[in-house]
């Protein structure tokens, strides 16, 4: 595609850029296919500000006779303002931004054009494959096998080509089970608890429908999961009522009569629109800078964001408790099994499994439980909190995950091998990135679009020696113990680092964090 046809005015002189923490700057604004480029030459020194167009969530223009002002609200919650001389230029630029910031075709997006010198397209893409993951877990191999039933994505388009299932269940059975689960997402293993051999499985809802259809193969598969251990738990991320209602539209739940060895627990996690609106309200409250006696705490409460954090952590805690304390295997699902399900299963793994708390382990977890497990990133992160566009499939589930992880890290400051800057970086990259990692909605789509051949991998980049230091927790001290978060409302805090990122306060804390890091590094250097 030719981007230039959407750029009527490519260059404007004497533009004033206003952004947080910096005095207004005058210079030249330049629009390219993927970036806004602002440069200012002040004597010998020149400064360059580069903004990825994809990062722009909303644009507001106020043209007047001879000039105009464009306010850019970014997906990383930063708000910038451009004062542009010339109404014509202002409108042209605004139009270009509007169009180019919301490209739909994956292969038009910037990661396909990003070619930094230090990276090569020949580098490995991704951290690990299902095969490698399976090979590493020897202790489960006598009861669990790696199935390639989905090798051409025909059984479940949102699953990776290989998944782990009970040994006794053959591929033929899996195909039948897939037909009984929404989107073909049949139950697969996502975590094996070494201490007691219990597992976490995830899937989508069973398609029981109004007339309570059964599927022998599905029952067989679940029976094989708890084989011998007597009882399993199903954590349904919908309320009982929602689950009942789902039957009217062909969905449903595992009834007591058909799955007698499984005990169902319902925990209602919000998803989709409700979650997106919560984020919008939160960001609105954070951005309201009226210094009058605002009712900040009420606004914060009304946004309900922290109660979503609470529910997610509480459900993950419950799941981990079932596995670790009660010694039972758990199947977790909601309806589609691509959002709340992944949120709960990955948080539970962080609580239980020290391997997921290292920098490598955490990124590996995200790869397994979010990228390969088919969280529809492209749909969910098309827009962030500022967009005026009509909401479609947007939902900040991944941001919610990062927030929950931040709460964990805050409560267990030594237990995580990675740092807050990593979480902040991920929160930014998921919406707009130079890398291909978060493109598309599933592994299948990524393969089809050539993402793995034609873009660079964010996770590989973050693990490079040059980056690793910055994203590691200097005070990290591994613990084998499970980390049980406190979920009292008093223990959960607003993630100021993200939501109040563009205030003076964040600068103080960032500076302090930097000092702290230097202290520790200096200290390590000596010893």
Partner 1 sequence: MASASIPVYNRSNNPLENSSSQNASRESLKMEPLAVTLLPGEERVIDKDIMYICPFSGPVKGKVFITNYRLYFKSADADPSVTLNVPLGAIGRVEKMGGASSRGENSYGLDITCKDMRNLRFALKQEGHSRRDIFDILFRYAFPLSHGLLLFAYLSQEKYEENGWSVYKPMEEFRRQGLPTDKWRITFINDNYELCDTYPTILVVPFKATEEDLRKVSTFRSRGRIPVLSWIHRENQAVICRCSQPLVGMSGKRNKDDERYLDVIREANGTAKLTIYDARPSVNAVANKATGGGYEGDDTYQNAELVFLDIHNIHVMRESLKKLKDIVYPNVEESHWLSSLESTHWLEHIKLVLSGAIQVADKISGGNSVVVHCSDGWDRTAQLTSLAMLMLDSHYRTLRGFQVLLEKEWISFGHKFASRIGHGDKNHADQDRSPIFVQFIDCVWQMTKQFPTAFEFNERLLMTILDHLFSCRFGTFLYNCESARDTNEVRSKTVSLWSLVNSDSTSYLNPFYTPESSRVLYPVASMRHLELWVTYYIRWNPRIRQQQQSPVEQRYMELLALRDEYLKKLEELQLTDSSPNSSHLSNSSASNAASPTQHINHLHTPF
d(CA 55, CA 43): 31
508 touches partner 1 by CB under 8 A = yes
**Strand ranges of the sheet holding 329-333, from the earlier edge strand across to the other edge:** 188-192, 199-202, 329-333, 232-236, 262-266
With respect to partner 1, which residue has the nearer C-beta, 278 or 441?
A: 278
Q: Which of 13, 88, 123, 294 binds partner 1 (CB under 8 A)?
A: 294
Q: Which of 48, 65, 105, 526 binds partner 1 (CB under 8 A)?
A: 526
Residues 304-343 that bind partner 1 (CB under 8 A): 306, 314, 317-318, 321
d(CA 84, CA 15): 5
By rule CB under 8 A, what count of residues binds partner 1? 55
Q: How far is the CB of 192 from partner 1 (least distance, A)?
A: 20
Q: Which of 295, 388, 464, 468 binds partner 1 (CB under 8 A)?
A: 295
196 touches partner 1 by CB under 8 A = no
CA-based nearest residue to 227, from 144, 163, 148, 164: 144
Q: Which of 252, 376, 485, 497 binds partner 1 (CB under 8 A)?
A: 485
Q: Which of 120, 297, 465, 466 binds partner 1 (CB under 8 A)?
A: 297
> Residue 62, SS3?
strand
Q: Which of 136, 240, 249, 491 binds partner 1 (CB under 8 A)?
A: 491
| Chain centroid, CA 523 distance in Å | 34
195 touches partner 1 by CB under 8 A = no
With respect to partner 1, which residue has the nearer C-beta, 122 or 488?
A: 488
With respect to partner 1, which residue has the nearer C-beta, 274 or 475?
A: 475
d(CA 267, CA 334): 9
CA-based nearest residue to 399, from 416, 374, 377: 377
Q: How far is the CB of 432 from partner 1 (least distance, A)?
A: 25
Q: How far is the CB of 144 from partner 1 (least distance, A)?
A: 28
| Chain centroid, CA 343 distance in Å | 9
254-293 mask for partner 1 (x: CB under 8 A)?
--------------------------------x----x-x
Backbone angles phi, psi at 226, to 5 degrees: -95, 5
493 touches partner 1 by CB under 8 A = yes
469 touches partner 1 by CB under 8 A = no
523 touches partner 1 by CB under 8 A = yes
Q: Where are the beta strands (DSSP E) in 35-143?
A: 35-42, 45-52, 56-63, 67-74, 79-85
With respect to partner 1, which residue has the nearer C-beta, 123 or 294?
A: 294
With respect to partner 1, which residue has the nearer C-beta, 22 or 296?
A: 296
114 touches partner 1 by CB under 8 A = no
Residues 383-412 that bind partner 1 (CB under 8 A): 411-412
What is the 3-state secondary structure of 230-280?
A: CCEEEEECCCHHHHHHHHHHCCCCCCCCCCCCEEEEECCCCCHHHHHHHHH
Determine contact, residues 282/385, Cβ cutoff 8 Å. yes
CA-based nearest residue to 68, from 111, 138, 9: 9
**What token pair was written down for 47?**
């400064």
Determine contact, residues 378/107, Cβ cutoff 8 Å. no
Please, what is the end-to-end C-alpha distance for the chain in angstroms?
56
509 touches partner 1 by CB under 8 A = yes
- Binding span for partner 1 by CB under 8 A among 11-19, 167-175, 439-447, 471-479: 471-479
Q: Which residues bind partner 1 (CB under 8 A)?
A: 286, 291, 293-298, 300-301, 306, 314, 317-318, 321, 411-415, 475, 477-491, 493-494, 496, 500, 503-505, 508-509, 512, 515-516, 519-520, 522-524, 526-527
């Amino acid at each position: 595609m030719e981007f230039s046809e959407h750029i009527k005015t490519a260059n404007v002189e004497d533009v004033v850029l206003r952004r947080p923490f910096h005095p207004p700057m005058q210079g030249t604004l330049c629009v390219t296919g993927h970036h806004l480029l602002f440069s200012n030459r002040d004597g010998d020194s020149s400064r360059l500000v580069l903004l990825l167009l994809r990062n722009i969530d909303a644009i507001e223009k106020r043209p007047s006779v001879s000039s105009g002002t464009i306010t850019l609200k970014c997906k990383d919650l930063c708000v910038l303002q451009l004062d542009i001389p010339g109404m014509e230029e202002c409108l042209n630029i605004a139009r270009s931004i509007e169009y180019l910031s919301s490209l739909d075709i994956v292969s038009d997006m910037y990661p396909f054009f990003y070619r930094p010198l230090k990276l090569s397209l020949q580098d490995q893409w991704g951290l690990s494959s299902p095969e490698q993951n399976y090979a590493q877990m020897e202790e489960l191999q006598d009861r669990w096998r790696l199935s390639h039933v989905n090798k051409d994505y025909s059984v479940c388009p949102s699953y990776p080509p290989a998944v782990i299932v009970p040994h006794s269940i053959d591929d033929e059975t899996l195909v039948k089970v897939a037909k009984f689960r929404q989107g073909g997402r049949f139950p697969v293993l996502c975590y094996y608890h070494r201490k007691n051999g219990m597992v976490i499985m995830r899937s989508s809802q069973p398609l029981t429908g109004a007339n309570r259809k059964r599927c022998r193969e599905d029952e067989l598969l679940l029976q094989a999961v708890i084989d011998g251990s007597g009882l399993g738990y199903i954590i349904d991320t919908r309320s009982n009522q929602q689950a009942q209602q789902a039957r009217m539209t062909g969905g449903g739940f595992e009834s007591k009569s058909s799955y007698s060895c499984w005990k169902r627990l319902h925990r209602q996690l919000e998803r989709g629109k409700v979650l997106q609106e919560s984020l919008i309200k939160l960001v609105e409250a954070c951005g309201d800078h009226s210094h009058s006696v605002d009712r900040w705490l009420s606004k914060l409460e009304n946004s309900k964001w922290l109660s979503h954090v609470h529910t997610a952590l509480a459900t993950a805690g419950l799941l981990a408790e079932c596995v670790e304390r009660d010694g039972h295997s758990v199947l977790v699902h909601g309806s589609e099994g691509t959002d709340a399900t992944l949120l709960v299963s990955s948080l539970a793994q962080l609580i239980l499994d020290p391997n997921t708390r290292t920098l490598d382990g955490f990124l590996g977890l995200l790869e397994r439980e979010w990228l390969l497990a088919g969280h529809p990133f492209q749909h969910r992160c098309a827009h962030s909190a500022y967009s005026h566009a009509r909401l479609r499939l947007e939902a900040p589930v991944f941001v919610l995950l990062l927030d929950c992880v931040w709460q964990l890290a805050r409560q267990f400051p030594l237990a995580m091998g990675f740092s807050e800057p990593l979480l902040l970086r991920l929160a930014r990259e998921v919406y707009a990135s130079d890398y291909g990692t978060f493109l598309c909605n599933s592994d299948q789509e990524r393969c089809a679009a050539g993402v793995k051949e034609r873009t660079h991998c964010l996770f590989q980049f973050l693990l490079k020696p040059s980056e690793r230091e910055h994203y590691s927790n200097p005070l990290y001290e591994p613990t084998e113990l499970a980390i049980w978060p406190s979920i009292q409302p008093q223990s959960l805090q607003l993630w100021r680092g993200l939501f109040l990122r563009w205030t003076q306060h964040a600068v103080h804390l960032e500076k302090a964090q930097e000092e702290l890091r230097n202290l520790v590094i200096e200290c390590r250097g000596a010893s």
